[in-house]
């Protein structure tokens, strides 16, 4: 996953935090060695051995044996790659029952009713959707249509 893909999935604030962390630990050339990557992975609770981290860095950039910011984001995003992102897309597809590329309050209401087997008011679904959309952006969007990219951003940031 490159930085552009990450920018579509991660909230802007998360990318800014990753950039700040990378800047703090990288060298003057803007590169992060295995020791720096290990420190970051330890901070976020990913316990790799020194040898595994060194192998990962060499895999990403065998020539320099260090990571630029794009490589760094790719490593951090690995746990969110393929399987998790595919699962989130599948969930969105289930919610988007009319296959219009967005989830509206009616879609959410119908999905909730089928899951909990209890009637849900359209107003309740609208309120939930508005709250969910607000979580995706600083200041909140108050939109009542949830697009895939916003859904992914909110779910990944949880």
Q: Considering its fold, how many domains does the chain have in total?
A: 2
First to last CA, the chain: 19
Domain boundary among 48, 80, 112: 80
Residues 9 and 59 in one domain: yes
User: Which pLDDT score, from 0 to 100, does residue 32 have?
Assistant: 92
Shared-domain flag, residues 133 and 118: yes
Range of the domain at 76: 3-80
Q: Give the pLDDT confidence score for residue 155 in this predicted structure.
A: 73
Q: Do 124 and 141 sit in the same domain of this protein?
A: yes
pLDDT < 70 regions, the chain: 1-13, 44-45, 78-84, 134-143, 156-158
For the stretch 79-89, pLDDT in tens is: 555 666 777 78
* Gap between the Cα atoms of 41 and 46, Å rounded: 5
- The answer to whether residues 97 and 139 belong to one domain is yes
Residues 10 and 36 in one domain: yes
- Do 46 and 109 share a domain, yes or no? no
pLDDT computed for residue 134 by the predictor? 66
91 and 149 assigned to the same domain: yes
Q: Are 58 and 40 found together in one domain?
A: yes
Based on the domain organization, do 91 and 52 belong to the same domain? no
- Whether residues 75 and 91 fall in one domain: no
**Nearest alpha-carbon partner for 154 in 71, 91, 78, 99:** 91
CA 35 → CA 8, 65, 121, distances in Å?
29, 11, 54
Q: Which pLDDT tens digit goes with each residue over 43-63? A: 766 778 899 889 888 888 888
Same domain (yes/no): 36, 60: yes
Based on the fold, state whether residues 13 and 69 are members of the same structural domain: yes
Domain with 43 in it: what CATH number? Answer: 1.10.238.10
**What is the predicted pLDDT for the residue at 123?**
92
């Amino acid at each position: 996953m490159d930085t552009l893909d990450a920018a579509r999935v991660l909230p802007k604030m998360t990318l800014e935090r990753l950039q700040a962390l990378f800047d703090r630990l990288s060298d003057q050339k803007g590169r992060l060695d295995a020791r720096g990557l290990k420190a970051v992975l330890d901070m976020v609770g990913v316990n790799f051995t020194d040898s595994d981290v060194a192998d990962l860095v060499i895999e990403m950039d065998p020539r320099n044996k260090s990571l630029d910011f794009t490589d760094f984001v790719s490593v951090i995003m690995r746990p969110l790659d393929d399987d998790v992102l595919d699962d989130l897309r599948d969930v969105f597809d289930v919610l988007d029952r009319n296959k219009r590329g967005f989830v509206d309050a009616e879609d959410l209401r119908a999905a909730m009713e089928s899951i909990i087997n209890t009637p849900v008011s359209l107003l309740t679904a609208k309120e939930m959707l508005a709250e969910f959309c607000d979580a995706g952006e600083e200041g909140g969007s108050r939109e009542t249509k949830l697009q895939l990219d916003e859904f992914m951003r909110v779910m990944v940031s949880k």
